[in-house]
Protein backbone atom coordinates (compact mmCIF):
# COMPACT_ATOMS: atom_id res chain seq x y z
CA UNK A 1 0.00 0.00 0.00
CA UNK A 2 1.25 3.46 -0.87
CA UNK A 3 0.21 6.98 -0.11
CA UNK A 4 0.19 9.42 -3.03
CA UNK A 5 0.76 13.07 -2.17
CA UNK A 6 0.50 15.74 -4.84
CA UNK A 7 0.88 19.51 -4.80
CA UNK A 8 1.77 19.49 -1.11
CA UNK A 9 5.40 20.61 -0.91
CA UNK A 10 7.71 19.19 0.46
CA UNK A 11 5.86 15.86 0.65
CA UNK A 12 4.95 15.28 -3.04
CA UNK A 13 5.42 11.75 -4.36
CA UNK A 14 4.62 8.11 -3.67
CA UNK A 15 5.43 6.82 -0.20
CA UNK A 16 5.23 3.27 1.20
CA UNK A 17 2.80 3.00 4.10
CA UNK A 18 2.18 -0.77 4.26
CA UNK A 19 2.74 -2.97 7.30
CA UNK A 20 4.02 -4.44 9.40
CA UNK A 21 3.79 -1.44 11.69
CA UNK A 22 5.90 -0.52 14.70
CA UNK A 23 4.35 0.30 18.06
CA UNK A 24 5.05 3.99 17.37
CA UNK A 25 3.20 3.77 14.03
CA UNK A 26 0.21 2.02 15.63
CA UNK A 27 0.14 4.77 18.24
CA UNK A 28 0.13 7.33 15.40
CA UNK A 29 -3.07 5.68 14.08
CA UNK A 30 -4.65 6.02 17.52
CA UNK A 31 -3.42 9.58 18.16
CA UNK A 32 -4.22 11.02 14.73
CA UNK A 33 -7.19 8.96 13.55
CA UNK A 34 -8.55 7.61 16.86
CA UNK A 35 -8.34 4.14 15.29
CA UNK A 36 -7.29 1.09 17.31
CA UNK A 37 -5.62 -1.88 15.61
CA UNK A 38 -8.91 -3.81 15.56
CA UNK A 39 -10.58 -0.91 13.70
CA UNK A 40 -7.82 -0.38 11.14
CA UNK A 41 -9.23 -2.41 8.23
CA UNK A 42 -12.72 -0.97 8.65
CA UNK A 43 -11.28 2.56 8.62
CA UNK A 44 -9.45 1.75 5.37
CA UNK A 45 -12.56 0.23 3.77
CA UNK A 46 -14.74 3.19 4.67
CA UNK A 47 -12.22 5.80 3.52
CA UNK A 48 -11.79 7.36 6.96
CA UNK A 49 -9.88 10.61 6.36
CA UNK A 50 -8.12 10.31 9.73
CA UNK A 51 -6.49 7.02 8.77
CA UNK A 52 -5.36 8.54 5.47
CA UNK A 53 -3.62 11.39 7.32
CA UNK A 54 -2.16 8.96 9.88
CA UNK A 55 -0.79 6.72 7.10
CA UNK A 56 0.70 9.77 5.40
CA UNK A 57 2.48 10.69 8.64
CA UNK A 58 3.79 7.12 9.01
CA UNK A 59 4.99 7.03 5.40
CA UNK A 60 6.69 10.43 5.66
CA UNK A 61 8.45 9.52 8.91
CA UNK A 62 9.76 6.38 7.21
CA UNK A 63 11.35 8.66 4.61
CA UNK A 64 12.91 10.81 7.35
CA UNK A 65 10.59 13.79 6.90
CA UNK A 66 10.71 14.71 10.55
CA UNK A 67 9.20 16.86 11.96
CA UNK A 68 6.08 16.56 9.84
CA UNK A 69 3.67 19.45 9.43
CA UNK A 70 0.48 17.59 10.39
CA UNK A 71 -1.61 20.75 10.01
CA UNK A 72 -0.56 20.96 6.36
CA UNK A 73 -1.78 17.38 5.81
CA UNK A 74 -5.10 18.06 7.57
CA UNK A 75 -5.68 21.24 5.57
CA UNK A 76 -4.92 19.58 2.23
CA UNK A 77 -7.69 19.38 -0.34
CA UNK A 78 -9.48 16.09 -1.01
CA UNK A 79 -7.45 14.33 -3.67
CA UNK A 80 -4.07 15.71 -2.63
CA UNK A 81 -3.42 12.79 -0.25
CA UNK A 82 -4.64 9.44 -1.57
CA UNK A 83 -4.20 5.78 -0.71
CA UNK A 84 -3.05 3.49 -3.52
CA UNK A 85 -4.01 -0.16 -3.12
CA UNK A 86 -2.90 -1.25 -6.60
CA UNK A 87 -0.07 -3.41 -5.23
CA UNK A 88 -2.30 -5.08 -2.63
CA UNK A 89 -4.47 -7.29 -4.82
CA UNK A 90 -7.70 -7.92 -2.95
CA UNK A 91 -6.21 -7.69 0.56
CA UNK A 92 -8.00 -4.46 1.49
CA UNK A 93 -10.26 -3.02 -1.18
CA UNK A 94 -10.19 0.73 -1.74
CA UNK A 95 -13.27 2.70 -0.74
CA UNK A 96 -16.02 2.72 -3.32
CA UNK A 97 -16.67 6.20 -4.62
CA UNK A 98 -20.00 7.74 -5.54
CA UNK A 99 -19.68 10.21 -8.39
CA UNK A 100 -16.74 12.55 -8.01
CA UNK A 101 -16.57 12.44 -4.22
CA UNK A 102 -13.97 10.13 -2.70
CA UNK A 103 -15.56 10.79 0.69
CA UNK A 104 -18.79 8.80 0.30
CA UNK A 105 -18.75 5.02 0.10
CA UNK A 106 -22.06 4.30 -1.66
CA UNK A 107 -25.57 5.63 -2.16
CA UNK A 108 -26.97 3.87 0.91
CA UNK A 109 -24.37 5.38 3.23
CA UNK A 110 -24.87 8.93 4.46
CA UNK A 111 -22.27 11.31 3.12
CA UNK A 112 -20.04 13.57 5.19
CA UNK A 113 -22.17 16.11 7.00
CA UNK A 114 -25.10 13.75 7.44
CA UNK A 115 -25.75 11.08 10.00
CA UNK A 116 -28.08 8.15 9.65
CA UNK A 117 -30.16 9.27 12.62
CA UNK A 118 -31.15 12.68 11.27
CA UNK A 119 -31.92 11.84 7.64
CA UNK A 120 -35.61 12.37 7.04
CA UNK A 121 -36.21 13.36 10.66
CA UNK A 122 -39.46 15.36 10.82
CA UNK A 123 -37.98 17.63 13.45
CA UNK A 124 -35.62 19.02 10.77
CA UNK A 125 -38.30 21.47 9.67
CA UNK A 126 -40.06 21.56 13.01
CA UNK A 127 -37.99 23.23 15.74
CA UNK A 128 -40.77 22.61 18.30
CA UNK A 129 -40.65 18.83 17.72
CA UNK A 130 -44.47 18.67 17.51
CA UNK A 131 -44.70 17.64 13.86
CA UNK A 132 -46.13 21.00 12.86
CA UNK A 133 -43.98 23.17 10.59
CA UNK A 134 -43.09 26.57 11.94
CA UNK A 135 -44.70 29.63 10.28
CA UNK A 136 -41.36 30.42 8.61
CA UNK A 137 -41.47 27.06 6.78
CA UNK A 138 -44.78 27.76 5.01
CA UNK A 139 -44.83 29.90 1.91
pLDDT at 40: 92
Flag residues of the chain having pLDDT under 50: 90-134, 137-139
pLDDT at 58: 96
pLDDT at 136: 52
Residue ranges per structural domain of the chain: 2-84
Strand pairing report for 2-5 and 13-16 = antiparallel
pLDDT at 122: 39
pLDDT at 88: 63
Cis peptide preceding 20, ω within 30 of 0: yes
pTM above 0.95, yes or no: no
Q: Would you call 132 exposed, middle or buried from its count of C-beta atoms within 10 A (0-12, 13-18, 19+)?
A: exposed
pLDDT at 85: 85
What span, in angstroms and rounded, lies between the C-alpha atoms of 134 and 111? 27
| CA proximity to 85, closest of 13, 25, 22, 1 | 1
pLDDT at 30: 96
Amino acid sequence: MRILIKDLFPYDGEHDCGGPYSMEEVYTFKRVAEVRPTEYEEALRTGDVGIVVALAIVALKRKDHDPINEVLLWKSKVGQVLLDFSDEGDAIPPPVTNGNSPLSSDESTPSIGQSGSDIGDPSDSDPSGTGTPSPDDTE
